[in-house]
Amino acid sequence: MKQSTGRTAGRLTIIGTGPGDPELLTLKALKAVEQAQAIVAPTGRPNGASSALEIIAQAADISGKQVVEVHFSMQKVRLSGSRHRSVEESWSKAADTVLEFTGQGMNVVFPTIGDPAFYSTAYYLLSTVQERQPGLVTEVIPGISSVGSCSSALKAPLALGDDMLCIIPATFGDDRIRQAIETFDSIALMKVHRCLPRVIRILEEYSLLENAVLVEKCALDGERIFQDIRKAAHEDLHYFSTVIVRKQRMGTAGRFIVPGTGDRNGRNVDER
Give one DSSP letter per residue of 77-115, joined into a string: --TTS---HHHHHHHHHHHHHHHHHHTTT--EEEEESB-
How much of the chain exceeds pLDDT 90, in percent? 75
- Fold held by 146-271: 3.30.950
Residues 6 or more apart whose Cβ sits within 8 Å of residue 44: 71, 72, 74, 239
Decide: 139 and 105 in contact? Cβ < 8 Å.
no
Q: What pTM value is reported for the model? A: 0.84
The Cβ-side half-sphere exposure at 226, using a 13 Å CA radius, reads: 21
Q: What is the pLDDT of residues 178-188, one digit of tens each?
A: 999 999 999 99
Mean pLDDT of the chain: 87
Residue 264 has pLDDT above 60, yes or no: no
What are the sequence ranges of the domains in the chain? 11-141, 146-271
- In angstroms and rounded to an integer, the radius of gyration of the C-alpha atoms of the chain is 20
Q: Helices 122-132 & 85-102, crossing angle to 10 degrees?
A: 60
Give the mean pLDDT of 151-161.
94
Q: What is the pLDDT of residues 95-117, one digit of tens each?
A: 999 999 999 999 999 999 999 99
Q: State the pLDDT at residue 4.
A: 43
Whether 11-141 shares its CATH topology with 146-271 is answered no
Sheet holding 186-190, edge to edge: 165-169, 186-190, 241-246, 212-216, 224-226
Q: State the pLDDT at residue 44.
A: 78
Q: What is the pLDDT of residues 60-78, one digit of tens each?
A: 999 999 999 998 765 465 5
Q: State the pLDDT at residue 9.
A: 65
More confident residue, 148 or 86: 148
More confident residue, 14 or 1: 14
Decide: 42 and 109 in contact? Cβ < 8 Å.
no
The alpha helices in 14-164, defined as continuous H runs, are: 27-35, 51-59, 85-102, 122-132, 146-154
Q: State the pLDDT at residue 91.
A: 83
8 φ/ψ angles, rounded to the nearest 5 degrees? -75, 135
Q: What is the pLDDT of residues 76-98, one digit of tens each?
A: 655 555 555 557 788 889 999 99
Decide: 138 and 12 in contact? Cβ < 8 Å.
yes
Q: State the pLDDT at residue 77.
A: 54
Confidence of residue 48 (pLDDT cuts 50, 70, 90): confident
Q: Please tell me the CATH code under which domain 11-141 is placed.
A: 3.40.1010.10
Q: State the pLDDT at residue 259.
A: 34
